[in-house]
Structure 1
Amino acid sequence: MRYTLSDETWGREELEAINRVIESNFFSMGKEVKAFEEEFAIKFGSKYAVMSNSGSSANLLAIAALVYSGKLKSGDEVIVPAVSWSTTYFPLSQHNLKLKFVDINPETLNMDMNKLEKAITKNTKAVFAVNLLGNPNEFDRLIKICKDNNIILLEDNCESMGAKYENRQLGTIGLMGTYSTFYSHHLCTMEGGVTVTNDEELYHYLLSIRAHGWTRNLPANSKIYKKKEDEFYESFNFIMPGYNLRPLEMEAAIGREQLKKLDKIIFQRRENAKYFVEKMQSIKNIRVQKEIQESSWFGFAMILEGSLKEKRSELVKLLKENKIEVRPIVAGNFTKNEAIKYLNHEISGELTGADEIHNSGFFVGNHSKSNKENIDFLINIIESFVKE
């Protein structure tokens, strides 16, 4: 048996979508991307959605839009959790913002709300919250903290598509939210990402920044630039420093088919998680991620405790020998990475929760189909390790 990090969710529909694009002979960003964006926005209850070539690019677009719109300024402080993927952090640094790292709750793996409150200063202008491995933050407290301190709430929801808090889709709770549609994620378009917002002005910034900073993709009634009626002039007219983050038509066409399957995918992931959590209850000294409301269960995180705390390398070796794919919990405590020396940053207090995850945590994959057989196999291996 081989227990992989992710499974295949494509069928005949996705292949036909690819063929549809091939037959159209139009491959760069076009009608399929536009249709996917409209369908994505409807699905998640957002006014606007902008597709890009990755979830990392979705984050970059969101931060760039905030800076060019003046909502964030060079040197502003943005609070981030100490555990996340690298491209939660890099776009902030690339736009001359200061990162302030805050510890996580070692049970939920998301930002510790008490420590977040203590970290806020007069220089704090935003919180970039990460819904880690499918799990919602404590949004009742998080929203109140941001409102009370007049700071912007952003969501990196790249690992948590389909998760909900108070029946609201994660990614739509803050001013902007981001999603990833990379191969191993809930919805798979090979590569891809989406940035959503209800703010029309930010939406127009996203459209321009995504494609070189030009005006071509802006609507005639744009809130950020008055377009000339001269189409020739507006085809190569640049109003801000942008990027080329455009997705492919194939990726969008695949995404349109994947969206139709998403409810079933999320349902199955939750069913798998129920089974996993139940099975893990009988195993001592291994803690699993505590769910906040409705997680979409990207994977199954585990943290070794007690007599097992120092034995992660041994257990990981055993899992690999049995063809069970295993990874760190995202990047662990990101401040321990060499890249941190390039970032303007500050660490707020002790990062004890992040350190625990860094040293004693790991995760295995969840699937979009039933993987009870894989879970049973995993549990047997872990039980044999614990008994040694």
Structure 2
Amino acid sequence: MKYELASSTWDNAEREAIARVVESDMFTMGKNVAAFEESFAAFFGKKYAVMANSGSSANLIALASLFFRKENPLKAGDEVIVPCISWATTFHPLQQYGLKLRFVDIDLETLNYDIEKLKNAITPNTKMIVTVSILGNPCDFDAIEQLCDKHNLILFDDNCESMGGKMGGKFTGTRGLVNTFSTFFSHHISTMEGGLVLTDDKEIYNLLRAMRNHGWTRGQESDSPLFEKKEDDFFEAYRFILPGYNVRPGEMHGAIGLEQMKKLPKLVDERRKNADYFVSLFKDDKRFIIQKEIGESSWFCFTMIVRPELALERKEVLEKLREANIEHRIITGGCFLKHDVIQYYDYSVHSRENADIAHDRGWFVGNHPHDIRKEIDYLYETLKSF
């Protein structure tokens, strides 16, 4: 038997959407992307959505927008608090814009911020907190929002691996000034490649649209707060106002996204059913720490950590998984401080002990948007022998 990390969420609806775009002979960003953005924003209850060609690009333009807003923009050298565990492109845009990162440890059970350590990590230089709901499991947003309000901090929510999670009845990816998502193959919905930014801020919305699209004025709303239109239409059509990028999605991505959004509630529901079964088997297992759900997780996957007090080594477990053809991988990107690229960062470390344990003794196996109880049983039987 093979237990895979991920599987497709597509059927004929997505293939027919691609065919319609091919038939239209219009492939660059247009009406399908706009319709998907509108649908995405409406589903999550936000005013504006801007699609990019990846979740990484969504993080990039979301951060860039905070540097170019008129009031209280971020500046190079500002301090931003980040969790020790996340994906690389949570961190890279922060480094590329010259911010100083302050790393804070995780709770070993939830894999999200240790809230007490987060509280103690804030300094007079802190300007922003980046939240990451690890692998579908919501952060304690009520506590984090209180910290942001108390210290006048920006909340940047990187929700790229947690679409559909909820905390206090609110979706993850809706609590920040800017909120980012990924629609990569293995994520909760897939548009081949893609990502989105959600916000309620009109200025940031227009900044996102400009930064996505060369930094020019084309595509701005008629009442955009970014610039005043000049009379020379010849020049105006190619007028650059910001140091932007080209991270536009294509029409196929938007058309696929429209079909995927129809399925999202059911896809998340199936993941949650699988999680209930996984937890029922492993919750009392004294060998492993499994992720403790906070709020309503959208359960990207199932994490397992060999308890640090045990003599059992992770390599023994992983060898057994390899022999059984059970796919597995590091938890998100592991502890980022252990990666070679950290040498290029300006950073400080408030705390990291639990992140190191998760990095050295943890892994995850796949969850899927369909019934995988047989695969979970197979995992359970495989690990029984330890």
Q: What interval of TM-score do these two structures reach, taking the shorter chain for normalisation?
A: over 0.9
Shift in Å at residue 236 of structure 1? 1.3
Asked if the contact 2:88–2:333 (Cα under 8 Å) also holds between the matched residues in 1, the reply is yes
Shift in Å at residue 225 of structure 1? 1.1
Asked if the contact 2:308–2:357 (Cα under 8 Å) also holds between the matched residues in 1, the reply is no
1:380 partnered with 2:381: yes
Change in CA separation of 1:210 and 1:14 when aligned onto 2, cut-off 3 Å = same
Residue 90 of structure 2 corresponds to 88
Q: SS at the partner of 2:192?
A: coil
Asked if the contact 1:283–1:383 (Cα under 8 Å) also holds between the matched residues in 2, the reply is no
Superposition map of 1:30-179 within 5 A: 30-69=30-69, 70-179=72-181
Residue 325 of structure 1 corresponds to 327
Q: With the length of structure 1 as denominator, give the TM-score of the two structures.
A: 0.97
1:298 partnered with 2:300: yes
Asked if the contact 1:205–1:224 (Cα under 8 Å) also holds between the matched residues in 2, the reply is yes
The C-alpha deviation readout for 1:26-63, integer Å capped at 9, x for no partner, is 11111110000000000111100000000011100110
Residue 22 of structure 2 corresponds to 22
Percentage of identical aligned residues: 51
Superposition map of 1:208-357 within 5 A: 208-228=210-230, 230-305=232-307, 308=310, 310-348=312-350, 350-357=351-358
* Structure 1: distance between partners of 2:322 and 2:300: 20
**Letter aligned with residue 306 of structure 2:** L
Q: SS at the partner of 1:133?
A: helix
Q: SS at the partner of 1:202?
A: helix
Asked if the contact 2:131–2:157 (Cα under 8 Å) also holds between the matched residues in 1, the reply is yes
1:362 partnered with 2:367: no
Q: SS at the partner of 2:74?
A: coil
Runs of 4+ in 1 over 4 A off after TM superposition: 306-310
Residue 196 of structure 1 corresponds to 198
Shift in Å at residue 283 of structure 1? 2.6
**Letter aligned with residue 8 of structure 1:** S
**Letter aligned with residue 112 of structure 2:** N
Asked if the contact 1:310–1:360 (Cα under 8 Å) also holds between the matched residues in 2, the reply is no
* Structure 2: distance between partners of 1:380 and 1:287: 17
**Letter aligned with residue 9 of structure 1:** T
Shift in Å at residue 322 of structure 1? 1.5
**Letter aligned with residue 284 of structure 1:** K
* Structure 2: distance between partners of 1:59 and 1:295: 22
* Structure 2: distance between partners of 1:340 and 1:306: 25
* Structure 2: distance between partners of 1:122 and 1:323: 50
* Structure 1: distance between partners of 2:174 and 2:80: 19
Change in CA separation of 1:272 and 1:59 when aligned onto 2, cut-off 3 Å = same
**Letter aligned with residue 358 of structure 1:** H
The C-alpha deviation readout for 1:129-178, integer Å capped at 9, x for no partner, is 11100000111111111111111111000010000111111111011100
Q: SS at the partner of 1:187?
A: coil
* Structure 2: distance between partners of 1:232 and 1:253: 32
Q: SS at the partner of 1:318?
A: helix
Residue 11 of structure 1 corresponds to 11
Asked if the contact 2:84–2:352 (Cα under 8 Å) also holds between the matched residues in 1, the reply is yes
* Structure 2: distance between partners of 1:244 and 1:215: 13
Aligned length: 384
Shift in Å at residue 210 of structure 1? 0.3
* Structure 2: distance between partners of 1:313 and 1:151: 41
* Structure 2: distance between partners of 1:281 and 1:117: 29
Shift in Å at residue 2 of structure 1? 1.3
Asked if the contact 1:215–1:239 (Cα under 8 Å) also holds between the matched residues in 2, the reply is yes
Q: With the length of structure 2 as denominator, give the TM-score of the two structures.
A: 0.97
Shift in Å at residue 316 of structure 1? 1.1
Change in CA separation of 1:230 and 1:309 when aligned onto 2, cut-off 3 Å = farther
* Structure 1: distance between partners of 2:138 and 2:287: 24
Asked if the contact 1:77–1:100 (Cα under 8 Å) also holds between the matched residues in 2, the reply is yes
**Letter aligned with residue 353 of structure 2:** T
Asked if the contact 2:4–2:327 (Cα under 8 Å) also holds between the matched residues in 1, the reply is yes
Q: SS at the partner of 1:341?
A: helix
Asked if the contact 1:18–1:250 (Cα under 8 Å) also holds between the matched residues in 2, the reply is yes
**Letter aligned with residue 362 of structure 1:** W
Q: SS at the partner of 2:348?
A: strand
Shift in Å at residue 307 of structure 1? 6.4
* Structure 1: distance between partners of 2:227 and 2:10: 41
Asked if the contact 1:160–1:170 (Cα under 8 Å) also holds between the matched residues in 2, the reply is yes
Shift in Å at residue 233 of structure 1? 2.1
Shift in Å at residue 260 of structure 1? 0.1
* Structure 1: distance between partners of 2:31 and 2:103: 40
**Letter aligned with residue 366 of structure 1:** N
Asked if the contact 1:103–1:115 (Cα under 8 Å) also holds between the matched residues in 2, the reply is yes
The C-alpha deviation readout for 1:198-223, integer Å capped at 9, x for no partner, is 00000000000001111111111101
RMSD: 1.2
